[in-house]
Amino acid sequence: MARPLRKVVREHLFEESLAALLADPIAADAYIAAAEWVLAYDPSIGFPVKEGSTVWLLPMQPIQNQQISLYYAFDPSTVRLLLIQAES
């Protein structure tokens, strides 16, 4: 039997940072869609930002040769997307 998917919630800061990376909302939703599904199914696919942290990091496909990092937190029922940004 398949595991139930967690609910994915985009925090306000995440929405703002995603719009700053990709101004076209359709392109932004398409860019993040696979990550949302994977995280809803198995949020442990990423890794904690530091040992013992409740904030996790998922590396994303680069945008304009910039590495993108998605920061999130989760519990048994919900994944909260916190921030997405280009790393320098």
Per-residue confidence (pLDDT) for residue 2, from 0 to 100 = 65
Q: Distances in Å between the alpha carbon of 31 and those of 12, 19, 51?
A: 17, 11, 28
In a domain, 22, yes or no: yes
Low-confidence winner among 1-10, 47-56, 75-84 (lowest mean pLDDT): 1-10
- The domain in which residue 50 lies consists of 7-86
Residue 82 sits in a domain of what CATH number? 3.30.2310.20
Whether 76 is in a domain gets the answer yes
Let me know if residue 71 belongs to a domain.
yes
23 is a domain residue: yes
Query: Within a domain: residue 58?
Result: yes
Q: Write the pLDDT tens digit of every residue in 1-51.
A: 567 799 999 999 999 999 999 999 999 999 999 999 999 999 999 999 999
Domains identified in the chain, total number: 1
- For the question of whether the overall pTM of this predicted structure is more than 0.85, the answer is yes
Q: Does 30 reside within a domain?
A: yes
**1: in domain:** no
